[in-house]
Amino acid sequence: MTSTPHRRDHLPTALAVDAPVPLIVYGSLMSGFGMTGLGRLDVTAAARVRLENCRRGFGKKSQYGDRYAMLLEVERGDDPIRATIVEGGDPDAAAPGALLLEIPLGDLARVALREGYAPKAVESLARAARADGLALPDLLWSVARDAEFDVRGYRTRLFELIHYTTPHYIPHPALLSDGRAAITFLPPGREGTGSADVLAVRVASGMERVLSLREAWALKPNPGQLDYFAMCLLGEVHGLSLADVLDGGLGDDAFSAMLRRHIDLEVAAEVGRFLEAIGWPEERYRATFSSPRRRRD
């Protein structure tokens, strides 16, 4: 696979091709509540990250109920998504806060299945990466770089590589501040899925905008949407910033009060569920996610 240089190029590390995969999650999988049902992940390392060159919101019609799920959209199409690893909680940061988990390929395939991307496609990408002597994130990075980070071009090349795509969430590379490539999942919109024969859910449902929390609630004022909001916002328990989603705070209206009550019902169980989901003892969690704090309204 050939590649073209880029002014902020990523060079594959000496990392073994079957090493744990850095995965960035930015929605419901930032909380133990949201991870319920996924099963335990073999998380070898974790960190908070702050995302750049993307905007976060709601608008992808969920596979799992009448609600809008979280999404990311790339802002500048000629530049990659970047993720700065941060120490300590910063719930007031304007940039999207997300969670970096390093997991085995098999666990990545399980996450992909939840995101609507076939595990066999993950295996196909892994085989293509091994054939080039690369780790999977480095393969995705090279595909994006060859497309000059144009999202439509990247997805077309990815489809041509394994002859598969999905209307739901598609793996996408991001550049970590330590120089490594990571993977996240983006739901396609008008830029397409990579195949003219596969229509993105966001297009098919007629919702191509990035919705704020309040806009999503206005369209889906139901218990499933409220649950999903809580799954995402409980990421604050672990020091992850959702200030971009909350846009200045919840306020004092009836919706804000209802959402606060719903989150408060889940807070006490959140750390325990998170530990169960990632398979860590509390001591390791406290050392990694030291002094987590919740946003102050």
- 110/143 Cα distance (integer angstroms): 23
Element (H, E) at 84: strand 81-86
Strand partners, 174: 81, 182
Q: Which two tokens stand for residue 73?
A: 């959209």
Local confidence pLDDT in tens for the 297 residues of the chain: 333 333 334 544 434 456 899 999 999 999 999 999 999 999 999 999 999 999 999 999 999 999 999 999 999 989 999 999 997 655 457 789 999 999 999 999 999 999 999 999 999 999 999 999 999 999 999 999 999 999 999 999 999 999 999 999 999 999 999 999 999 999 999 999 999 999 999 999 999 999 999 999 999 999 999 999 999 999 999 999 999 998 766 878 899 999 999 999 999 999 999 999 999 999 999 999 875 555 445
Strand partners, 52: 82
CA 137, 34, 140: angle at the middle one, nearest 5? 10
| Contact between residue 292 and residue 238 where contact means Cβ atoms under 8 Å apart | yes
- Write the single-letter amino acid at 21: V
Q: What is the pTM of this model?
A: 0.91
Give the number of other Cβ atoms within 10 Å of residue 63's Cβ.
13
How many C-alpha atoms does 52 have within 13 Å on its Cβ side? 10
- 140/142 Cα distance (integer angstroms): 5
Nearest Cα neighbor of 23 from 295, 283, 278 is 278
- 294/219 Cα distance (integer angstroms): 27
How far out from the chain centre does Cα 212 lie? 17
| Contact between residue 52 and residue 82 where contact means Cβ atoms under 8 Å apart | yes
Q: What are phi and psi of 159, to 5 degrees?
A: -60, -45
| Domain boundaries defined on the chain | 21-287
Q: Which two tokens stand for residue 242?
A: 């959702």
- 97/47 Cα distance (integer angstroms): 11
- 119/214 Cα distance (integer angstroms): 34
